[in-house]
Amino acid sequence: MTTDHRIQTPILKVENLAISYETRKGDVQAVRDVSFEINRGEAHGIVGESGCGKSTIAFGIVNFLGRNGKIVSGSILFQGQELRGREESELRRLRGDQIAMVYQDPMSALNPSLRIGEQMNEVLIIHRGMEKADADQKCVEMLKRVYMPDPEAVMVRYPHQLSGGQQQRVVIAMALLNNPALLIMDEPTTALDVTVEAAVLDLIGDLRRDFDTAIMYISHNLGVVARVSEKVGVMYAGEMVERASTEDIYLHPLHPYTQGLMRCVPKLGLSKESSYLYPIRGRVPSPANLPPGCVYEPRCDYARDVCRRKHPELHALSPGHFVRCHLVSEIAGAEWQPPEGVLPDLTARRTEAEPILRVSDLRTYYEQPSTSALSLFGLGEKRYVKAVDDVGFELPKGCTLGVVGESGCGKSTLAKTIVGLESPTGGKIEFMGFDISVPVKKRDLELIEELQMVFQNPDSTMNPSFSVGHQIGRPLKRFKTVPRDEVRGEVIRLLDAVKLSVDYYDRLPRQLSGGEKQRVGIARAFAARPELVLCDEPVSALDVSVQAAVLNLLLEIQREQGTTMLFIAHDLSVVRFFSDYVAVMYLGQICEYGPAEAIYAPPYHPYTEALLSAVPIPDPTVEQKHIRLSGAVPSALDPPSGCRFHTRCPRKIGEICETEAPPWREAGDGHRIFCHIPLEELRQMEAVVTVEG
C-alpha cells in the first residue's frame, strides 16, 4: 500500500549542520555541512571510520554534546519542529518520549546495581505514571518482543548475569518502551559476536516494520549497514561525502572514499580474489588540520589540481544520489586498477614441509573456586572451566592457520597456552621438535625467541612511558639478535619494514594512532625473527582502511621471513584470503579443520555454516542463507554432553548428538569435520553464500 496521503514531513531532517568543539587551540569543527532526512519507518545508515563525526551528529540531535560542544549553524527539524535552541527541559521530555538512543556498549547503558525489571519499569513509572504491576507486565511483553528467552526470569536478574547479546536486547527493549518516533543507534552491535549481531540486526528490522520507528543507524561496518538500512550516508572527516540508497552505495559507489572503503572490507564473496583487501593510503586528517580543498584529496588516487584548491559541494548526480567530488563524472566511468605492489604475494603455500608446531590432545582447564564448605578443607569436588579441551592439529612451517569462533570458544586460551602464558592441564605441544608444554618461565630463551605474539589491543600491550625505539629494541637486546651497537640500526630497519619512518623512533605510544601502534606491535613481535608468530585478533580494534593496511603488512613480513603464523579472528571473512588452513573452534574444541578453501564451501560443520551465514556482507547482490543460532555459547564449566554444539545445532539428528561425542569425518585433503551427520549428507548442503542471478 502506498502511503502518499500520509504525513510527508520526515521524522528527522538535518540541514547544513555544523558542530564545533571548543578546545584550547580554538574551535574544532567536528561536523560540517551535513544534511540528510529520515522518514517514518525508514532506516538511515551513517558509515565512516572513527573520528569522522558520526557520533557527534547523534549527540548534536539530542543536545548531548557536553560542555565544550556547540551547534554552530544549520537546523535539526524533528517532526517538523526545530530542536536547536530549545530549552533543556523541553528537550529532556522530547528525548524521553520520542527519541531514544542505543549505544555501543550495553553494559554501560545498564545500571549494574539494579535488577533488569527495576530499570525497565522505571521508564514507564516515571514517564507514564504507570502502576508497578502494569509496568512490569508491559516490560515482560516488550522483552518477548525482542525475542528474549525466558523474559520473566530475566526481569529479576542483574545485568552481569546476562550475555552481551541479551544485554543489548534489554537496552533495545528499554528504548522501545516509550514507542519513540526516532531511534538513534550508535554502533549497537559492534561489541557483539557475529552470530549474536546477526540476530540483533534481524530484530531491528522486525521492530522497524512493526513500530514504524525511524532509525538512524551509525556504524563503521559497511556490511552491517547494508543489512539494516535503506539509505546510507558516508562520512569522512566531518563531512558527508556521499549519500544514496543502500543499493546505489554498494553497487555503484562514486566517491573515491566510498570506493576505497568497499575495497578494504573483507567480503566473503564467492571467490578468494573477491576477499582481497586493498588499503587506502594515509589516514583521516585531524579536524583541526584539514586540507584546504577536498578533505579526501591527500588520500585520493584521482586527485587533481582543482581538488587541492577548491572545496567540492555535495551535488545530486541522480535523484537521491549525492556526491561531494569534483571529478565524479570521470570516476563514474573509470575502471579501477589496483596499484602495483599493494598486495603481498598471496599464493597458497601448502607445502609438504615438516610441521613446525604439533599440538595433540591439548587441554587447558581453569579451576573454579567452589562455594561449598567442604572445599575449605580441600574435600569438595573440584570444578574446571574447560577453556581448551582436547585440541589437536599440525601446522607446517611457513603456513598460516586461521582460528575462528565466537567469544568464549577458547581461541585466545589456545594461543596463550602455546605461547606459554597459561600452563596446559594435559596434552602435548611440540614446537620445532621440542616439547613446550611448560609455562614460559621454564622455557629456554632460544625457544621464547622463536615464539612471539601480536596482541589485539596495541594500547594495553605497550608501555606508555617508553619510546617506540626502546620497545622494539628490547627483544633485540634480550635475545641478542644483533650486537648491542647495531640495535638502533636494526630497529630503524624494522620500522621501515612496517612502513614507519625514522621519526617514529623517539615517539611515545600516545603520539601514535591505533594503526601505527599495531605496526609497532608487529615490528616488536618480528624483531627477534621468530619461527612462529601468534596473532590474537590483531586488527579487530582498528578502522577498516587501517585494518587492510596492517593485515597486508603482516603478511608481507611473514612471507619475507618465512614465518609460520597462527591467526585468531572472530569472523570468517577476515581470515579467508591469507590463511592456508582454517580451524573453527566451538566451546574449547575444534569442530572443523582443513585447507582454507575447503572451509568456505560444503561440506560444512553445522556451526561453520551458521557462522558463515551470520557474517554481514556489504554487497546486496550476494544471497546468504538465513541460519540463526539461538542462545549463547553454553558455559565451559559444564559443557553439553555428546556433541557440544547439540544445544544450538539447527541440524541436530537425534539422541546420538546428546549422548555420544561425534566422530571425525574425513572429507579429504586434510579436511576434517567433527559431526555425527554422515559425510555424504554434509556434502549435499547448499553453499551459504551465492551470488544472485
Partner 1 sequence: MLVKDYMTRHPLMAEPTMSIVEAQRYMGENNIRHLPVVGAGKRLLGLATRQTLLVEPGKLGSLDVWEIARTLSGLALEDVMTPAEDVITTGPDITIEEAARIMVENKIGCLPVLEEGVVVGIITEIDLLALMMEIMATRVPGVRVTVRMPNVAGELAKLVSAISAHGWGILACGGAPAPKEPDKWDTVVKIRNIPQAEIVAALGQVKGQEIVDVREV
Binding site for partner 1 (CB under 8 A): 1-2, 5-9, 11, 40-41, 79-81, 90, 93, 96-98, 127-130, 134, 178-179, 181, 211-214
Sign of CA dihedral 22, 27, 30, 35: positive
Closer to partner 1 at the Cβ: 97 or 105?
97
| Ordered DSSP codes for 522-590 | HHHHHHT--SEEEEESTTTTS-HHHHHHHHHHHHHHHHHHT-EEEEEESSHHHHTTT-SEEEEEETTEE
Question: Are the C-beta atoms of 389 and 417 separated by less than 8 Å?
Answer: no
Closer to partner 1 at the Cβ: 11 or 415?
11
In whole angstroms, how close is the CB of 132 to partner 1 at the nearest point? 14
Closer to partner 1 at the Cβ: 208 or 299?
208
Q: What is the DSSP letter of 128?
A: H
Closer to partner 1 at the Cβ: 11 or 476?
11
In whole angstroms, how close is the CB of 181 to partner 1 at the nearest point? 4
Distance from C-alpha of 284 to C-alpha of 555, rounded to nearest angstrom: 24
Q: Which residues have CB under 8 Å from 62's CB, separation 6+?
A: 91, 95, 99, 101, 184
In whole angstroms, how close is the CB of 264 to partner 1 at the nearest point? 38
In whole angstroms, how close is the CB of 563 to partner 1 at the nearest point? 57
Query: In the sheet where 355-368 sits, what is the strand order?
Result: 383-396, 355-368, 426-431, 434-435
Question: Are the C-beta atoms of 522 and 550 separated by less than 8 Å?
Answer: yes
User: How would you label 620-629 residue by residue, b for 16+ Cβ within 10 Å and e otherwise?
Assistant: bebebeebeb
In whole angstroms, how close is the CB of 94 to partner 1 at the nearest point? 9
Q: Is 113 exposed, middle or buried (0-12, 13-18, 19+ CB in 10 A)?
A: exposed
Closer to partner 1 at the Cβ: 130 or 270?
130
Closer to partner 1 at the Cβ: 8 or 371?
8
Closer to partner 1 at the Cβ: 214 or 222?
214
CB atoms inside a 10 Å sphere around CB 254: 23
Q: Which residues have CB under 8 Å from 26's CB, separation 6+?
A: none
In whole angstroms, how close is the CB of 642 to partner 1 at the nearest point? 46
Distance from C-alpha of 564 to C-alpha of 345, rounded to nearest angstrom: 15
In whole angstroms, how close is the CB of 419 to partner 1 at the nearest point? 54
Sign of CA dihedral 632, 633, 639, 642: positive
According to DSSP, the β-strands at 434-435 and 451-454 are unpaired
In whole angstroms, how close is the CB of 146 to partner 1 at the nearest point? 18
Closer to partner 1 at the Cβ: 135 or 448?
135
Closer to partner 1 at the Cβ: 41 or 595?
41
Residue with cell 512493526: 210
Question: Are the C-beta atoms of 304 and 275 separated by less than 8 Å?
Answer: no
In whole angstroms, how close is the CB of 9 to partner 1 at the nearest point? 5
Which of 581, 365, 341, 565 shows the shortest CA–CA distance to 453? 565
In whole angstroms, how close is the CB of 171 to partner 1 at the nearest point? 20
Distance from C-alpha of 681 to C-alpha of 658, rounded to nearest angstrom: 19
In whole angstroms, how close is the CB of 3 to partner 1 at the nearest point? 8
Query: In the sheet where 451-454 sits, what is the strand order?
Result: 451-454, 532-536, 564-569, 400-404, 581-586, 589-595, 672-674, 664-666
Closer to partner 1 at the Cβ: 42 or 571?
42
| Ordered DSSP codes for 257-283 | HHHHHHHTS----SSSGGG---PPSS-
In whole angstroms, how close is the CB of 88 to partner 1 at the nearest point? 15
Distance from C-alpha of 455 to C-alpha of 460, rounded to nearest angstrom: 9
Q: What is the DSSP letter of 55?
A: H
In whole angstroms, how close is the CB of 662 to partner 1 at the nearest point? 48
Q: What is the DSSP letter of 326?
A: T
Closer to partner 1 at the Cβ: 97 or 459?
97
Sign of CA dihedral 137, 143, 144, 150: negative
Closer to partner 1 at the Cβ: 15 or 623?
15
Closer to partner 1 at the Cβ: 79 or 417?
79
In whole angstroms, how close is the CB of 83 to partner 1 at the nearest point? 14
In single-letter form, the type of residue at position 354 comes to: E
Distance from C-alpha of 192 to C-alpha of 183, rounded to nearest angstrom: 19
Q: How many helices (H) and strands (E) does the chain have?
A: 24, 26
In whole angstroms, how close is the CB of 207 to partner 1 at the nearest point? 12
Closer to partner 1 at the Cβ: 38 or 544?
38
Closer to partner 1 at the Cβ: 41 or 634?
41
In whole angstroms, how close is the CB of 138 to partner 1 at the nearest point? 9
Q: What is the DSSP letter of 313?
A: P
Closer to partner 1 at the Cβ: 139 or 649?
139
Distances (CA, A) of 675 to 300, 625, 628: 49, 20, 19
C-alpha cell at 263: 575495497
